[in-house]
Structure 1
Amino acid sequence: MIKGLYEAHLPVSNLEVSIEFYKKLGLKFAWRDEETAFFWITEGKSWVGLWEGREVQTPYHPSLRHIAFQVTYEDLKHSLAWLESIQIEAVPFGNRSSVEPFIRPHQGNASVYFNDPDGNSLELMCFVEVPEDLRTVTDKLSFEEWEKLTGRPAD
């Protein structure tokens, strides 16, 4: 029945500022009206809607005001340089002090985080194939630790 995610929505305080930010991410602008703008994540398949309004004052929580964009493992390895090239700073996840991308073996994914101009949490994320003996590891591993531990890059 379910084939994927069609859309997600985020609150913003200034639609013009947010439109420029999401264009910097390379998302294709779809349309806008007075209070909303939509960007294709995958054209014809999924998009994100930005809604200007008071809702932007809702405090951040991972269940609210968060979107993860799927990327490849190689793209994630180079994500900090890419973010820097478009003048966006990565932010630490949770109680981590490092902004470096990391791998969650028990979830089979890897991530790096950053925020939009309104503090909405954005994530670049990829799937990672995890060997059976590492599927219970709950530590967040750096790419270097992961590649040492597995003897190969994730894919």
Structure 2
Amino acid sequence: MTSAHPIIEGLFETHINVRNLEQSMDFYGQVLGLELAHLEEQRRIAFYWIGGRGQAMLGLWETPPEEVATQHFAFRTSLEKLHLAAAYLRERQLTGYNFLGDGTDVPMVFGWMPALALYFRDPDGHSLEFITMLEGQPRPELGVISLEAWEALQQD
């Protein structure tokens, strides 16, 4: 049964397991620039604000290495900032890659959304993504294509 007014309005927080809390705090706080919201040293957990205080939160839980399974999540950004993402990652000695895994850090469009995305990894191997929604109607038949190809199709 669907409701005309769904109770879920967005995703507020997600949590991941990390091998070394200090290393992960350095990565998310210093390298990516997220604001530390709260640190519980005894519980070995740190919380970071995403998109500003009160917008969304990421929790980092230190766990034994054998319990750290890689996960995936995406950071929403603007189209303008996504154009800068590859250089942003390189400046931080991080390797960006696209969904095609073609050895480049050129963002690609998912036609079914449509959205432009670029991936990278954290110190524990978690798959992270910068993503922005694009103008236009979803085109799932296009699969994954370049932004240039997407833009050319939007002009037709």
**Normalising by structure 2, what TM-score?**
0.83
Q: Which of 1 and 2 has greater Rg?
A: 2
Which blocks of at least 5 consecutive residues in structure 1 are unaligned? none
Deviations 1:13-69 (A, max 9, x none): 111110010012121111111310010003112100001102664443xxxx11100
List aligned pairs for 1:1-155, cutoff 5 A.
Answer: 1-23=7-29, 24-34=31-41, 35-42=44-51, 43-54=53-64, 57-60=67-70, 65-93=71-99, 96-131=102-137, 135-151=139-155
Query: How many residues align structurally?
Result: 146
**Runs of 4+ with >6 A deviation:** none
Determine the C-alpha separation between the residues in 2 that align with 1:120 and 1:83.
15
* Secondary structure of 1:111 counterpart: strand
Which blocks of at least 5 consecutive residues in structure 2 are unaligned? 1-6
Deviations 1:99-150 (A, max 9, x none): 311101112111100000000111001111224xx62334211122222332
Q: What is the alpha-carbon root mean square deviation over aligned residues?
A: 2.1
Identity of counterpart residues, as a percentage?
A: 36
Determine the C-alpha separation between the residues in 2 that align with 1:91 and 1:57.
26
